[in-house]
């Protein structure tokens, strides 16, 4: 084991965090379903929430799907379609940049609001504060990686290293050596991202997993009959 | 036909003195806990006035209730399902009132009143119950009570904007009335319809609308869907809460706390049988002024043998049917037509109805010899201090004729009873003009003026014993999950302590303070 720290971060740590994510989610939904809410503070402050929340949510959804595409689609597939590396990165940077910027503006306003609005701040739990700061940090890191660290390391292509490693996680054979040469900003971004997955189910973030699909086809009025013994 | 039973209420505004006892007892029972300080499941508003939350009747602003879309079908004013996702309303609810629209709840710094003697008299300053900071009070839950400060705010009352009468400028001829408000437990409840999580529901057996605290995910669309703004958001539990119609009491055959404690005996509770299949069709009536009558059409005659047979087939308990037959609500709403729904134009089919107030005109008319000439009340009512069009804008979607008919009837009943009590002659043919007879006028008088407990409250006990083991269910009703929220958990802990071997004296000493429950 040539790099014990690298080995830990790119082989053990991801599974600790993802394990925490899956087991935490199962436990939260199975045993504490009543605690799952979005923890809205709209009642207490509305204006900054409007700008911040809409920007952040739209941005983060774009960013999420951007990550899914960037990591899950192998380079060989886009090569087969005849998409050149330059074209791919142009699309990735424009799409990711728009999503990332929306998310960054949104989370910046939301964090500012959470710390400066007296009502919102005093009714926040420690977990709410940590979540806001963690999201702000990781989005800044992500933007930094894409627009500063990326151009500074022209030889580095995450699709031939980081993405392969990430896909390997899904079939439980990650080769940590793929991550050794990755620029530091990317590394920190990945570690922080995994940490967010790790605490996801124990915080307000869990609301993202509780989507009410049944409302789409449900009839409007709901009657509940008492159960009979 | 799909018959359902609905527990409903009528409030006789003629007798409401605006004492707020209902609000206070309700608050002490249900919303006296962290996160719920600003909630008043029941509140009493002075009308004309902006109400609580501020301007709740202004649906151009709050977008509550239903309207008809281009095809003439019902649609939530706040937007249909697709619209809410497409416009990002799921990330930010643009129609939701802010805390300041209700008010920032406060308490007083009572400790300073009991501090050691000082040169100056101590003052208990207002402290926010949310931030704990000293507050400069600018608005409260009943700021314009008894028209206080109404020169500033009265014009914001959406009903005032709608009516033609000159009350707008004539402040010395001002009128006022009280409007106690609670959840309407609507037949076509927009809050239930707005809830994406399916946490809100109508109880099948009695139509009470509740929020399942376990399933609520805090989307807040119920708050904005409700045009009466009677669903609240608890900032501590991050869930919706609303008037429960005191269902634990109703199940025992007891009236709600607000009704039980009403000093004016203005509240009536009873059962209405209605046809659930026709609710949508009735709510899609294009003419606002006809919605009241369309809702009346939904109510079924509980004495009709066909209805009874159908109700039994639908599994409605016999004592529920019997209660419907003796229902004071049916008497007032359907038989006598003196009670009206609140803002039927919201198309919610509300089930808390109101008898319009009468007193001001009778006083106005006193000098004009109405006892000798009862005919004189008809023109008088048209000119009374609380304008008929104001009442119509509140209670019938603008239909003034039905309001007038009810007021004539109430006034005539009064004249008749006064003559009878005073031993004067009264031409009973006058009663026929308002569809009363000597007997029915006396009956109505007993129901409205004497208002005996057993006449006001005809509530069947639920048959919960058939569905839950009663012994195990003891002490399980109420808000759980927040410390000090419900007495149920306190009782539960008492049992736990007893099991752990504490003596009853020890438990008593811990739980009671000077005979007062300590939570």
pLDDT at B218 over 50: yes
CB contact (8 A) between residue A226 and residue B235: no
pLDDT bin (cut points 50, 70, 90) of residue B498 is low
* DSSP state for residue B130 in the 8-state scheme: T
Q: How far is CA B418 from CA A203, B12, B426, B431, in A?
A: 68, 20, 9, 13
Lowest mean pLDDT among A207-211, B134-138, B463-467, B481-485: B481-485
**Four-point Cα dihedral B473, B474, B477, B479, nearest 10:** -110
Distance, in Å, from the CA atom of B176 to the CA atom of A35, rounded to the nearest integer, reads: 45
Q: Is the pLDDT of residue B297 over 60?
A: yes
- Residue B364 reports pLDDT greater than 50: no
Chain B touched by A44 (CB under 8 Å): yes
Residues 6+ apart with CB under 8 A from B361: B377, B380, B381, B383, B384, B385, B386, B407, B411
Res B139: pLDDT: 92
pLDDT in tens, B64-86: 999 999 999 999 999 888 887 77
A146 in contact with B at a CB cutoff of 8 Å? Answer: no
Q: Is the pLDDT of residue B482 over 50?
A: no
3-state secondary structure of B4: strand
- Supply the pLDDT for residue B186: 97
pLDDT of residue B123: 87
- Tell me the two tokens of residue A24: 């935490």
Phi, psi of B191 (to 5 degrees): -65, -45
Sign of CA dihedral B243, B244, B250, B254: negative
Report CB contact under 8 Å: A37, B188. no
End-to-end CA distance of chain A: 62
Measured CA to CA, the distance from residue B333 to residue B9 in angstroms comes to 10
DSSP H or E run through B247: helix B247-251
pLDDT of residue B290: 96
Which pLDDT score, from 0 to 100, does residue B362 have?
Answer: 46
The residue in chain B having the minimum alpha-carbon distance to the alpha carbon of residue A222 is B201
| pLDDT digits 0-9 by tens, A43-81 | 999 999 999 999 999 999 999 999 999 888 888 888 888
Sign (positive or negative) of CA dihedral B294, B246, B269, B145: negative
What are the pLDDT digits (tens) for B376-411? 667 677 777 788 888 999 999 999 999 999 999 998
**Residue B69, Cβ neighbours under 10 Å: how many?**
11
**Which element (helix H / strand E) includes B123?**
none
Least confidently predicted of A97-106, B230-239, B364-373, B481-490: B481-490
A80 and chain B in contact, CB less than 8 A: no
Peptide bond into B48 cis (omega under 30): yes
Please give the pLDDT value at position B152.
76
pLDDT-based confidence at residue B486 (cuts at 50, 70, 90):
very low
Inter-chain touch B218–A39, beta carbons under 8 Å? yes
pLDDT of residue A159: 87
pTM of the predicted model as reported, rounded to 2 decimal places: 0.88
Q: What is the largest CA-CA distance in chain A?
A: 70
A197 vs B151, residue with greater confidence = A197
Structure tokens belonging to residue B308:
């009874």
Residue A82 has pLDDT above 80, yes or no: yes
Is residue B174's pLDDT more than 70? no
Residue of A nearest to B89 (CA): A54
Better pLDDT: B120 or B351: B351
CB contact under 8 A, A42 and B220: yes
B200 against B82, higher pLDDT: B200
Q: In this complex, how many residue pairs, one in chain A and one in chain B, have their CB atoms less than 8 Å apart?
A: 119
Q: What is the CA B158 to chain-centroid distance, rounded?
A: 19
pLDDT in tens, A164-204: 999 999 999 999 999 988 999 999 999 999 999 999 999 99
Residue B352 near residue B185, CB atoms below 8 Å: yes
User: Where do we find the tokens 């005979």?
Assistant: B515
Select from B92, B94, B202 the Cβ nearest to the Cβ of A223. B202
Distance from CA of B212 to the nearest CA of A (A): 9
Residue B45: pLDDT over 90: yes
The confidence band for B104, taking pLDDT boundaries of 50, 70 and 90, is very high
Contact call for residues B282 and B344 (beta carbons, < 8 A): no
User: What mean pLDDT comes out for the span B209-218?
Assistant: 92
At B428 the pLDDT is 86
**Is pLDDT at A38 greater than 90 in this prediction?**
no
Selecting from A53, A210, A222 the residue whose C-beta is nearest the C-beta of B217 gives A210
Across the interface, of B130, B213, B481, the residue whose CB is closest to A119 is B130
In chain B, % of residues over pLDDT 90: 65
Q: Is B203–A42 a contact, with Cβ atoms under 8 angstroms apart? A: no
A2 — pLDDT class (breaks 50, 70, 90) = low
Res B474: pLDDT = 67
Average pLDDT over residues B231-243: 94
Alpha helices in chain A (DSSP H): 4-7, 13-31, 47-72, 75-80, 85-116, 118-122, 126-144, 150-152, 162-170, 177-180, 184-199, 214-217
Q: Which residues of B touch A33 (CB under 8 A)?
A: 214-215
How much is the average pLDDT of B472-501?
Answer: 58
Nearest-angstrom CA–CA distance, B110 and B122: 10
Coil, strand or helix at A10: helix
Residue B94: what are its φ and ψ, rounded to 5°?
A: -65, -20
CA distance A219 to chain B (A): 8
Instruction: Label residue B508 by pLDDT band (50, 70, 90).
Output: low
- pLDDT at position B480 is 52
pLDDT of residue B314: 92
Contact partners, residue A93, CB within 8 Å, separation at least 6: A146, A147
Residue B503 has pLDDT above 70, yes or no: yes
């Amino acid at each position: 084991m040539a790099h014990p720290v690298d080995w830990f971060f790119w082989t053990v740590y991801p599974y600790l965090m993802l394990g925490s994510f899956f087991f935490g989610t199962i436990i939260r939904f199975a045993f504490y379903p009543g605690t799952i809410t979005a923890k809205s503070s709209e009642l207490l402050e509305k204006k900054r929430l409007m700008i911040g929340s809409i920007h952040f949510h739209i941005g983060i959804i774009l960013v999420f799907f951007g990550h899914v595409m960037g990591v899950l689609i192998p380079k060989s597939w886009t090569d087969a379609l005849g998409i050149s590396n330059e074209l791919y990165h142009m699309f990735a940077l424009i799409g990711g940049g728009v999503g990332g910027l929306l998310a960054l503006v949104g989370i910046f306003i939301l964090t500012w609001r959470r710390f400066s609005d007296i009502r919102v701040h005093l009714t926040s739990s420690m977990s709410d504060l940590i979540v806001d700061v963690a999201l702000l940090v990781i989005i800044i890191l992500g933007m930094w990686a894409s627009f500063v660290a990326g151009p500074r390391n022209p030889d580095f292509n995450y699709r031939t290293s980081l993405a392969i490693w990430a896909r390997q996680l899904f079939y439980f054979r990650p080769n940590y050596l793929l991550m050794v040469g990755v620029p530091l900003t990317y590394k920190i971004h990945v570690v922080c991202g995994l940490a967010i997955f790790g605490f996801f189910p124990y915080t307000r973030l869990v609301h993202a997993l509780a989507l009410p699909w049944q409302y789409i086809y449900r009839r409007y009025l709901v009657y509940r009959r008492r159960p009979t013994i | 036909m799909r018959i359902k039973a609905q527990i409903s209420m009528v409030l006789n505004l003629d007798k409401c003195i605006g004492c707020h006892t209902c609000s206070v007892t309700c608050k002490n029972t249900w919303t006296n806990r962290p996160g719920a300080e600003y909630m008043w499941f029941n509140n009493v508003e002075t009308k004309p006035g902006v109400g609580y939350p501020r301007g709740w009747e202004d649906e151009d602003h709050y977008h509550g209730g239903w309207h008809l879309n281009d095809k003439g079908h019902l649609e939530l004013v706040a937007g249909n399902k697709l619209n809410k996702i497409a416009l990002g309303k799921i990330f930010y609810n643009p129609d939701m009132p802010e805390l300041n629209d209700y008010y920032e709840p406060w308490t007083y710094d009572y400790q300073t009143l009991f501090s050691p003697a000082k040169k100056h008299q101590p003052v208990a300053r207002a402290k926010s119950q949310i931030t704990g900071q000293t507050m400069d009070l600018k608005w409260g839950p009943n700021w314009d009570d008894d028209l206080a400060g109404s020169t500033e705010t009265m014009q914001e009352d959406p009903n005032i904007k709608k009516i033609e009468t000159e009350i707008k400028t004539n402040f010395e001829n001002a009128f006022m009335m009280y409007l106690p408000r609670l959840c309407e437990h609507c037949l076509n409840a927009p809050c239930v319809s707005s809830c994406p999580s399916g946490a809100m529901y109508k109880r099948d057996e009695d139509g009470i609308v509740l929020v399942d605290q376990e399933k609520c995910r805090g989307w807040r669309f119920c708050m904005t869907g409700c045009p009466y703004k009677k669903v609240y958001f608890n900032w501590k539990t991050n869930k919706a809460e609303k008037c429960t119609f005191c269902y634990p009491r109703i199940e025992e055959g007891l009236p709600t706390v607000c009704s039980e404690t009403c000093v004016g005996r203005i509240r009536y509770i009873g059962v209405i049988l209605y046809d659930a299949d026709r609710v949508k069709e009735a709510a899609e009536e294009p003419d606002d002024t006809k919605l009241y009558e369309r809702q009346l059409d939904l109510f079924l005659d509980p004495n009709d043998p066909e209805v009874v047979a159908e109700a039994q087939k639908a599994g409605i308990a016999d004592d529920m049917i019997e209660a419907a037959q003796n229902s004071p609500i049916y008497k007032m709403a359907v038989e006598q037509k003196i009670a009206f729904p609140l803002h039927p134009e919201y198309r919610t089919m509300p089930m808390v109805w109101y008898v319009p107030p009468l007193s001001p005109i009778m006083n106005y008319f006193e000098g004009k010899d109405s006892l000798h000439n009862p005919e004189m009340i008809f023109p008088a009512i048209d000119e009374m201090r609380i304008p008929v069009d104001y009442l119509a804008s509140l209670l019938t979607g603008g239909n003034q004729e039905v309001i007038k008919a009810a007021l004539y009837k109430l006034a005539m009943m009064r004249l008749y009873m006064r003559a009878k009590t005073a031993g004067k002659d009264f031409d009973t043919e006058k009663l026929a003009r308002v569809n009363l007879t000597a007997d029915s006028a006396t009956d109505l008088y007993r129901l409205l003026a004497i208002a005996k407990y057993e006449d006001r409250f005809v509530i069947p006990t639920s048959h919960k014993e058939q569905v839950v083991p009663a012994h195990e269910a003891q002490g399980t009703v109420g808000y759980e999950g927040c410390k000090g929220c419900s007495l149920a958990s306190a009782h539960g802990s008492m049992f736990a302590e007893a099991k752990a071997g504490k003596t009853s004296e020890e438990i008593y000493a811990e739980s009671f303070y000077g005979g007062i429950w300590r939570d």
